[in-house]
């Protein structure tokens, strides 16, 4: 059968395993974040291939510890190959030997190492866990040397077994007949049928560098320390006698949350001068190339070898490894490298190789930077911006991007011209043009036009001086928070599932954020009262409450009129401000609710505005309305907008004149009718949302939803809806969804500050046409049914 890559092999192998054995092999620990990260990290690496090098063929072979390998690829140590195929470890060793690649035999092998050595045609290494009984280890070392094993691999990342939840769920036990054959002579195992029992009974948990030194002193074979993820640990290992280091997080099976293995290679390679190996997520020739570019000498592959063994025994392993070798040879050639020695850091688009970690005078320690830099929250925005590009063939319900079929630069240029004409009316056109290209007023140029828009579209009447034109709504949020919150005792309250930009801005400012539970219709006002009270008791004050009242991101919920009135009264009662952000209002249904600002008789609302959904996101024009009065100790009274404008002077100086002009012209040319300006887009969103809802209804008929654990809300309009699914909706599930079902979405947990949303996803309908959205929902429905069955 043609070799179609290791992922294809996994799909073919799955039905051949007993379900609990599949889970034992495929699974990771905890929430399987590290398991997923091993792949995500490889997928994120971009290479800079070399051209014009006059190369017609590449040689994938390498030399390791004086031996030739057909490629810088070996088989990682894995316990009990018999779970995959009756041929078990001897078949793996034979297959790898036929492909000219090495195998690390696991200590917990179902066949004794002597049998494997007899079947080996290529280097055989032996992996050991540190055992309580050193005499057993010493004997194993002697046996290994006698049998012709060529290196010892000491696994140091398993003082105890990681939290393997899949195995707990399935109650996984080794099938009868499978036992750790290498240890049979020693009675080292209390209960060999349960992997957790193995480790607890027989392994020495508290080893230090002296254990490595002891091991190295007891054998003439090179000792490779496996399970290291940091440069300083690699250094300790080498100083204690290790001849190599295998960078590994145990395939995501130990500490969940650990760094992706390939992301740790550069640091380790920079720290030591011995061969550095890596395993975890290596799934193709380009991955091998990337690992070497980061500084690895060679890579090891785990699970795919068991898949290959299940599909085709020894010849399955041979074909898979030969396929990977051929892929790597291709990758070398396409990258302009004759052989592995030509692979270096310059092939990495982001220069993330070992040289970067070697430490130069310009290096900065991340621990000394602002804490937000290493907060995963800030990665979420990048994830949302880039996930669609990562899976370009999948139907994407991920991005909240506006419909752009009618975007036209000519229109934008005409908008700019219209604004210049408007500004020049009765005056000097050249001066009007110049003013756009000069530094502009700190509060912006087009506040007057935005005031006109608010009056006509929302019945909000504010003077232009109470408006600051910003660089997108994101800057408006940042400015409002910076100005309003004096210290960490000022609390920002947000809905339990919240637009990440708000929490990110608060994180940049080191503000305290408190989530409030939501009902199906938005923020739960009873809960809001309780949170405000609790904060007061704790000596803090709730300064502001952020809400998206119309067709919210991410939930799709719209606050009822009664709740709007009640929220305003809570703001009065508890003396906080409301940050109203309503970018989806125009699309929130035929009869939109009054905005909070229009109901705001007590000047409790600071309104944040965006034109990303109504004009163009690329303009980056937003605004805020802050008509509150600020009293100063000297008796002066200013507007909050004026104070915010001062702050903005130190952030972006002023919003760019040209894009403000484009926005101003857009408003003028559409006669301040955003509903008309967005009619085509609105119809598109409506059609797609309707199609999504219809397809959900078809795929999950009323009687069946409960049984499948599926539920969704029916938003009045807008871009988003939330869908409850019968599986843990995390990054690992998203990856499965993308690769196995061709559909992507956003885990609701990305938006949840209260730890909720774990079995919910956000579906964004804005960027899809109805037919594709229908196809996407059907794909998702297939996944939901499969997940429900498994």
Decide whether 198 or 648 has the Cβ nearer to ligand FMN.
198
* Choices 250-258, 336-344, 669-677, 768-776; region in contact with ligand FMN by CB under 6 A: 250-258
Decide whether 42 or 576 has the Cβ nearer to ligand FMN.
42
Among 111, 198, 226, 543, indicate the residue that binds ligand FMN (CB under 6 A): 226
Among 72, 102, 275, 280, indicate the residue that binds ligand FMN (CB under 6 A): 280
Q: Is 528 in the site for ligand FMN (CB under 6 A)?
A: no
Decide whether 193 or 713 has the Cβ nearer to ligand FMN.
193
C-beta of residue 530 within 8 angstroms of C-beta of residue 574? no
Taking alpha carbons only, the member of 245, 246, 243, 241 closest to residue 213 is: 241
Among 282, 480, 557, 612, indicate the residue that binds ligand FMN (CB under 6 A): 282
**Token pair in block for residue 385:** 């911006």
Pairing of strands 720-724, 711-712: antiparallel
Decide whether 127 or 319 has the Cβ nearer to ligand FMN.
127
Q: Is 281 in the site for ligand FMN (CB under 6 A)?
A: yes
Q: Which residues from 51-110 bind ligand FMN, rule CB under 6 A?
A: 76-79, 106, 108
Q: Where are the alpha helices (DSSP H) in 336-446?
A: 354-357, 376-390, 409-424, 429-437
Among 250, 423, 684, 735, indicate the residue that binds ligand FMN (CB under 6 A): 250
C-beta of residue 256 within 8 angstroms of C-beta of residue 162? yes
3-state secondary structure string across 669-727 = HCCCCHHHHCHHHHHHHHHHHHHHHHHHHHHCCHHHHHHHCCEECCCCCCCEEEEECCC
| 649 vs 64: CA distance, rounded Å | 60
Cβ of residue 214: shortest distance to ligand FMN, in angstroms?
Answer: 19
Cβ of residue 307: shortest distance to ligand FMN, in angstroms?
Answer: 10
Q: Is 228 in the site for ligand FMN (CB under 6 A)?
A: no
Beta bridge partners of 277: 246, 298
Cβ of residue 446: shortest distance to ligand FMN, in angstroms?
Answer: 54
Decide whether 222 or 504 has the Cβ nearer to ligand FMN.
222
Decide whether 89 or 318 has the Cβ nearer to ligand FMN.
89
Half-sphere exposure of 533 (CA within 13 A, CB side): 6
The CA-atom distances, in angstroms, between 537 and each of 310, 484, 487, 577 are: 62, 21, 17, 19
Decide whether 154 or 453 has the Cβ nearer to ligand FMN.
154
Residue 179 burial (CB < 10 Å; 0-12/13-18/19+)? middle
User: Is 461 among the residues known to form the active site?
Assistant: no
Give the interface size with ligand FMN as a residue count (CB under 6 A): 22
Cβ of residue 164: shortest distance to ligand FMN, in angstroms?
Answer: 10
Cβ of residue 303: shortest distance to ligand FMN, in angstroms?
Answer: 4
Cβ of residue 282: shortest distance to ligand FMN, in angstroms?
Answer: 6
| 688 vs 72: CA distance, rounded Å | 49
Cβ of residue 136: shortest distance to ligand FMN, in angstroms?
Answer: 16
* Residue 609, SS3 per DSSP: strand
Cβ of residue 389: shortest distance to ligand FMN, in angstroms?
Answer: 24
Cβ of residue 28: shortest distance to ligand FMN, in angstroms?
Answer: 9
Pairing of strands 541-547, 124-128: unpaired
Taking alpha carbons only, the member of 555, 587, 610 closest to residue 762 is: 555
Among 9, 25, 606, 738, indicate the residue that binds ligand FMN (CB under 6 A): 25
Decide whether 228 or 412 has the Cβ nearer to ligand FMN.
228
**Token pair in block for residue 203:** 């392994």
Residue nearest to ligand FMN (CB): 302
| 116 vs 109: CA distance, rounded Å | 10
Decide whether 165 or 785 has the Cβ nearer to ligand FMN.
165
**Using alpha carbons only, what angle is made at residue 732 by residues 258 and 754, rounded to the nearest 5 degrees?**
80
DSSP string, 163-191: --HHHHHHT--PPTT---GGGGGGT--S-
| 80 vs 175: CA distance, rounded Å | 10
Q: Is 447 in the site for ligand FMN (CB under 6 A)?
A: no
What does the longest C-alpha to C-alpha distance in the chain come to?
101
Per-residue interface string for the shown chain with ligand FMN, residues 141-180, x marking contact by CB under 6 A: --------------x-------------------------
Decide whether 170 or 652 has the Cβ nearer to ligand FMN.
170
**Token pair in block for residue 109:** 């092998």
3-state secondary structure string across 267-316 = HHHHHCCCCEEEECCCCCHHHHHHHHHHCCCEEEECHHHHHHHHHHHHHH
Decide whether 162 or 656 has the Cβ nearer to ligand FMN.
162
Q: Is 212 in the site for ligand FMN (CB under 6 A)?
A: no
Cβ of residue 80: shortest distance to ligand FMN, in angstroms?
Answer: 7
Q: Point out the catalytic residue in the list 85, 250, 307, 574.
A: 250
Among 70, 122, 127, 639, indicate the residue that binds ligand FMN (CB under 6 A): 127
Q: Is 38 in the site for ligand FMN (CB under 6 A)?
A: yes
Residue-level length of the chain? 790
Decide whether 161 or 682 has the Cβ nearer to ligand FMN.
161
* Choices 59-67, 133-141, 160-168, 279-287; region in contact with ligand FMN by CB under 6 A: 279-287
**Token pair in block for residue 78:** 């894995």
| 20 vs 8: CA distance, rounded Å | 21
The CA-atom distances, in angstroms, between 536 and each of 33, 47, 395, 539, 540 are: 37, 54, 47, 5, 5
* Residue 495, SS3 per DSSP: strand
Q: Is 251 in the site for ligand FMN (CB under 6 A)?
A: yes
Among 89, 263, 279, 318, indicate the residue that binds ligand FMN (CB under 6 A): 279
Beta bridge partners of 29: none
Cβ of residue 103: shortest distance to ligand FMN, in angstroms?
Answer: 11
Q: Which residues from 295-314 bind ligand FMN, rule CB under 6 A?
A: 301-303
* Choices 246-254, 317-325, 429-437, 665-673; region in contact with ligand FMN by CB under 6 A: 246-254
Cβ of residue 505: shortest distance to ligand FMN, in angstroms?
Answer: 37
Q: Where are the alpha helices (DSSP H) in 149-260?
A: 165-170, 195-202, 209-217, 231-239
| 553 vs 717: CA distance, rounded Å | 11
- For the annotated catalytic residues, the residue numbers are 250
Residues forming contacts to ligand FMN in the complex (CB under 6 A) are: 25, 38, 76-79, 106, 108, 127, 155, 226, 248, 250-251, 253, 279-282, 301-303
């Amino acid at each position: 059968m043609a070799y179609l890559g290791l992922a294809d092999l996994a799909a073919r192998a799955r039905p051949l395993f007993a379900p609990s054995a599949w889970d034992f092999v495929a699974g990771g620990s905890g929430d399987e974040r590290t398991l997923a990260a091993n792949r995500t990290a490889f997928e994120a690496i971009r290479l800079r291939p070399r051209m014009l090098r006059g190369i017609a063929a590449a040689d994938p072979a390498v030399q390791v510890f004086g031996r030739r390998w057909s490629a810088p690829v070996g088989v990682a140590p894995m316990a009990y190959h018999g779970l995959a195929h009756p041929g078990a470890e001897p078949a793996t060793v034979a297959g790898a030997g036929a492909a000219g690649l090495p195998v690390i035999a696991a200590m917990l092998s179902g066949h004794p190492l002597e049998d494997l050595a007899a079947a080996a045609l290529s280097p055989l290494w032996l992996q050991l866990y540190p055992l309580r009984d050193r005499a057993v280890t010493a004997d194993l070392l002697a046996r290994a040397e006698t049998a012709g094993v060529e290196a010892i691999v000491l696994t140091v990342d398993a003082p105890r077994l990681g939290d393997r939840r899949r195995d707990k769920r399935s109650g996984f036990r080794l099938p009868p007949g499978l036992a750790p054959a290498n240890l049979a002579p020693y009675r080292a195992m209390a209960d060999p049928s349960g992997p957790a029992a193995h480790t607890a009974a027989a392994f020495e948990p508290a080893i230090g560098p002296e254990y490595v030194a002891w091991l190295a002193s007891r054998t003439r074979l090179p000792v490779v320390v496996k399970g290291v993820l940091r440069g300083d640990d690699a250094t300790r290992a080498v100083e204690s006698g290790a001849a190599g280091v295998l960078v590994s997080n145990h395939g995501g099976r130990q500490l969940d949350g650990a760094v992706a293995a390939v992301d740790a290679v550069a640091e380790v390679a920079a720290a030591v001068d011995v061969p550095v190996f890596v395993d975890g997520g290596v799934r193709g020739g380009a991955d091998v190339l990337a690992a070497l570019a980061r500084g690895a000498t060679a890579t090891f592959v785990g699970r795919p070898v068991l898949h290959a063994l299940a599909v085709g025994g020894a010849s399955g392993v041979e074909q898979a490894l030969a396929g990977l070798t051929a892929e790597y040879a291709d990758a070398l050639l396409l990258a302009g490298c004759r052989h592995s020695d030509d692979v270096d850091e310059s092939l990495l688009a982001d220069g993330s190789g070992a040289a970067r970690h070697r430490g130069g005078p310009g290096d900065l320690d991340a621990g000394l930077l602002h804490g937000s830099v290493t907060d995963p929250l800030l990665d979420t925005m990048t994830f949302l911006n880039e996930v669609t590009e990562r899976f370009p063939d999948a139907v994407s319900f991920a991005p909240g991007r506006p419909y752009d079929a009618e975007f036209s630069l000519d229109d934008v240029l005409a908008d700019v011209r219209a604004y210049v004409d408007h500004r020049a009316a009765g005056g000097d056109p050249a001066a009007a043009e110049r003013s756009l290209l000069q530094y502009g007023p700190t509060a912006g140029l087009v506040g007057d036009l935005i005031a006109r828009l608010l009056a006509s579209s929302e019945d909000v009447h504010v003077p232009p001086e109470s408006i600051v034109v910003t660089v997108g709504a994101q800057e408006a949020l940042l400015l409002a928070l910076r100005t309003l919150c004096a210290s960490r005792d000022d609390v920002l309250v947000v809905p339990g599932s919240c637009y990440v930009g708000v929490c990110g801005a608060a994180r940049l400012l080191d503000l305290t954020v408190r989530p409030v539970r939501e009902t199906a219709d938005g923020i739960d006002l009873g809960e809001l009262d309780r949170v405000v009270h609790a904060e007061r008791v704790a000596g803090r004050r709730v300064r502001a409450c952020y809400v998206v009242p119309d067709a919210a991101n991410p939930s799709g919920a719209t606050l009822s009129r009664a709740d709007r009135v009640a929220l305003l009264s809570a703001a009065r009662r508890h003396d906080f401000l409301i940050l109203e952000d309503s970018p989806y209002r125009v699309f929130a249904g035929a009869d939109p609710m009054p905005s909070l600002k229009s109901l705001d008789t007590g000047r409790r609302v600071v309104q944040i505005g965006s034109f990303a959904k109504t004009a163009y996101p690329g303009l980056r024009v937003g605004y805020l309305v802050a008509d509150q009065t600020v009293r100063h100790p000297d008796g002066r009274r200013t507007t909050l907008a004026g104070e915010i404008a001062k702050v903005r002077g130190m952030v972006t100086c002023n919003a760019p004149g040209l894009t403000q002009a484009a926005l101003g012209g857009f408003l003028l040319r559409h006669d301040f009718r955003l509903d008309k300006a967005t009619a085509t887009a609105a119809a598109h969103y409506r059609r797609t949302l309707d199609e999504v809802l219809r397809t959900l209804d078809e795929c999950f008929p009323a009687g069946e939803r409960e049984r499948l654990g599926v539920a969704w809300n029916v938003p009045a309009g807008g871009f988003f809806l939330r869908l409850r699914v019968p599986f843990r909706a995390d990054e690992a599930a998203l990856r499965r969804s993308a690769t196995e079902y061709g559909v992507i979405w956003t885990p609701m947990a990305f938006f949840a500050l209260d730890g909720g949303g774990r079995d919910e996803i956000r579906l964004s309908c804005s960027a899809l046409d109805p037919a594709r959205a229908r196809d996407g929902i059907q794909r998702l429905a297939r996944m939901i049914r499969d997940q429900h069955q498994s």
